[in-house]
A = this chain, B = another copy of it.
Amino acid sequence: MPTCWLNGTFCDESTASVSIFDRGLLFGDGVYEVATVVRGRLLDADLHLARLERSLAAIRCDNPLTIAQWLETMQALVNANALDEGLVYLQVTRGVAERDFAFPTSATPTHFAFARPKRLLQDPAAAGVSVHVVPDERWARCDIKSTAMLAQVLAKQSARSAGAFEAMMHEDGVVTEGGSSNLWIVQGGTLITRPLSHDILAGITRDVVLELAAGAGIPVLERTFTVHEARTADECLMTSASSFVLPVVTIDGAPVGDGAPGTVARTLREAYIERALRLTAP
């Protein structure tokens, strides 16, 4: 059984549990992060932990660990599970308290983390994935990486029911983001993605890809784009920590461009992997 981390100690996952009075369970009152592990080393964990701090500040919850303690814990979890390639998930909730919507006067944040293997460098999804278009039903603060994600659960389930890999969420025909990814299109060689706001999550991978595009001489435009633009784009891409960069080759069954991974998607995925290997070099 894998080892996880819960409130300060490592334990067997099968025994890791929280009270039914945990506010994460009663209210979705918590935030989380998912960081990548390549060659047994954490990738961009500092960026994920900086975003964790921003999410916690936004919901006015204390961070139970320092950045250094989180880094140490996450790496120990990687080692304990002999994880070579995969993900580390971590979550902080406002803790256990008598049920009441407003913040408890004294509660210790619950925090836990677990590790999972996943093929990242040789991800079969790199051959191209499908998306299914759904209305974005989320709340007004999608910049907070909260666990109150029933809207995303339903969007991703709609995608799966439609045989698609990911959801393409939109508001009145304007794309917001994927169910758990940022979305991009390519028009005439220019890479386009929605600017940051309360409407989308500030993806760590999104930030890195913006840098990599600049480095590769790919022009970038941060602006909103429509579902129609995505359908008629030369390329469509999705990015996330757990999938790096993936070409989106069909939208609701119709091919994007010629229906094969495009040059920009391939270039950025290769650049992302090259950077990942460089940063995790022994």
Q: CA of A30 to CA of B93 in the docked complex: distance in angstroms?
A: 16
Which secondary structure dominates chain A's binding surface? mixed
Q: CA of A49 to CA of B60 in the docked complex: distance in angstroms?
A: 34
A235 CB to closest chain B CB (Å) equals: 25
Given contacts A138-B139, A179-B101, contact A20 B27 (CB under 8 A): no
Q: CA of A19 to CA of B6 in the docked complex: distance in angstroms?
A: 11
B29 contacts A4, C-beta separation under 8 Å? no
New A-B pairs, 6, CB < 8 Å, besides A13-B20, A27-B152, A59-B150:
A16-B21, A28-B149, A29-B153, A59-B153, A101-B157, A102-B157
Number of copies: 2
Instruction: Mark contacts of A76-112 with chain B using CB atoms, 8 A cut-off: 1 yes-contact digit, 0 otherwise.
Output: 0000000000000101010000010111000000001
Q: CA of A18 to CA of B30 in the docked complex: distance in angstroms?
A: 16
A18 contacts B21, C-beta separation under 8 Å? no
Number of interface residues of A (CB under 8 A): 54
B20 contacts A19, C-beta separation under 8 Å? no
Q: Does A249 contact B (CB under 8 A)?
A: no
Residue of B nearest to A94 (CB): B153
Name which of A26, A32, A135, A140 has the most chain B CB atoms within 10 A of its CB: A26
Q: Does A207 contact B (CB under 8 A)?
A: no
B101 contacts A156, C-beta separation under 8 Å? yes
Selected from B6, B146, B153, the residue in CB contact (under 8 A) with A150 is B146
A189 CB to closest chain B CB (Å) equals: 33
Q: CA of A99 to CA of B112 in the docked complex: distance in angstroms?
A: 14
